[in-house]
Amino acid sequence: MRAQDLPDFKDLPPVPGMPPGTAWGIWDKNGERDNCGSLNLLTPENTKEAQKEIRTGQGVALNWSLQRVAEPGFAREQPKHTFKDLTPLGLAAFDEVIHINTQSGSQWDGFRHWAQQETGLYYNNLKHDEIPDPAHVEKNGIHNWTKRGGIVGRGVLIDYVAYAERHNIQYSAVTRHEITIHDIETAAKEQGVEFKPADILIIRSGWVKWHDEADEEARIKGARDGHEHVGVQGSKESVEWLWNHHFAAVAGDAIAFEAWPPKAPYRLHDHLLAMWGTPIGELWNLEELAEVCKRENRYSFFLTSAPLNIHGGVASPPNALAIF
Ligand code: UVW
């Protein structure tokens, strides 16, 4: 379905057993279950339109170092990187082994990560126990994003850090500071951004900047042991605004895109991942991106992302590039 044919939030057809505003079945085609949600908005036509954003040719990589976050929270593992010396095989060579929890650093949350919490159901009616079951490996696995040609489109950055400075808004990135739709719309206007359907909406909240500037003790307290951080407000207004703009995906630099902890019934994780099939990018490094946007005075760009091709995967480093 094209963005212009999608129903408004209030007109989404009811899905039995699910809260209003569930978008299951919308992208099912010829009796085949959809696994890609709003990524279906990224069509070849959209790519051709988005490539008009390339003017200077400068690329900015949005993955943070795999070694970041230094001390992950929510009992998540630090990445392990070991070298494997191939000298015993008569070769002057190295392999390496990388062991990561995909939630510990820059990531896309896929549709096997998070259920609508009250029903325990994942995007398009996938059940919790089906996820580790090989019989259901095709459902919602992140490999489906590779199969469809990755993520390619127009990215737009809302630099909330710069907006907060301009408007004298003081906050700590490791408190539950809410970014409202009014803030996003005002910042967009000030930055000269007009949203388009199928955009990939990226919000710089200041979490990575905080982490970069904090000492070890503060990082442990804020990132590993504290479970509060800045993000988009979870509210009726946010949910309706996000759906009605028909973004292909959303992303940010904090542990979650939304102000954490979330508050029912407007947990954005539930709506985006489980009810709509909209990927959430988290812990992206947006520092250089913000500098380039400011320098170019342009907050839209061509964006590509090639997630891991892992069959049945839950999440992935984004391997995202913004190209100006
Ligand atoms: C949090 O851990 C806050 O979010 P996610 O599970 O999406 O990483």
Domain hosting 275: range is: 3-75+98-323
Please write the tens of the pLDDT for every residue from 230-270.
999 999 999 999 999 999 999 999 999 999 999 999 999 99
In a domain, 81, yes or no: no
In a domain, 86, yes or no: no
What residues in the chain have per-residue pLDDT under 70?
Answer: none
CA 202 from centre of chain: 8
Q: Which of 103, 106, 263, 272 best tests ligand 1's pocket when mutated (most atoms within 8 Å of CB)?
A: 103
Average pLDDT of the residues of the chain: 97
Report d(CA 316, CA 308) in Å as an integer: 6
CA-wise closest residue to 125 among 22, 227, 14, 258: 22
Predicted local confidence at residue 4, as pLDDT:
85
In a domain, 108, yes or no: yes
Q: Which of 269, 273, 283 best tests ligand 1's pocket when mutated (most atoms within 8 Å of CB)?
A: 269
Using CA positions, which residue lies closest to atom 5 of ligand 1?
256
Torsions phi, psi of 281, nearest 5? -90, 135
- Ligand 1 centre to CA of 127 (Å) is 19
Q: What is the CATH number of the domain that holds 189?
A: 3.50.30.50
Predicted local confidence at residue 3, as pLDDT:
85
In a domain, 21, yes or no: yes
pTM tops 0.85: yes
In a domain, 93, yes or no: no
Predicted local confidence at residue 2, as pLDDT:
83
Contact between residue 17 and residue 29 where contact means Cβ atoms under 8 Å apart: no
Residue type, 129: D
Predicted local confidence at residue 259, as pLDDT:
98
**Is residue 188 within 6 Å of ligand 1 at its C-beta?**
no
Predicted local confidence at residue 70, as pLDDT:
81
Q: Which atom of ligand 1 is nearest to the CA of 109?
A: 7
In a domain, 51, yes or no: yes
Q: Provide the token pair at 306.
A: 């090639």
In a domain, 82, yes or no: no
If one counts the domains in the chain, the total is 1
CA 24 from centre of chain: 19
In a domain, 25, yes or no: yes
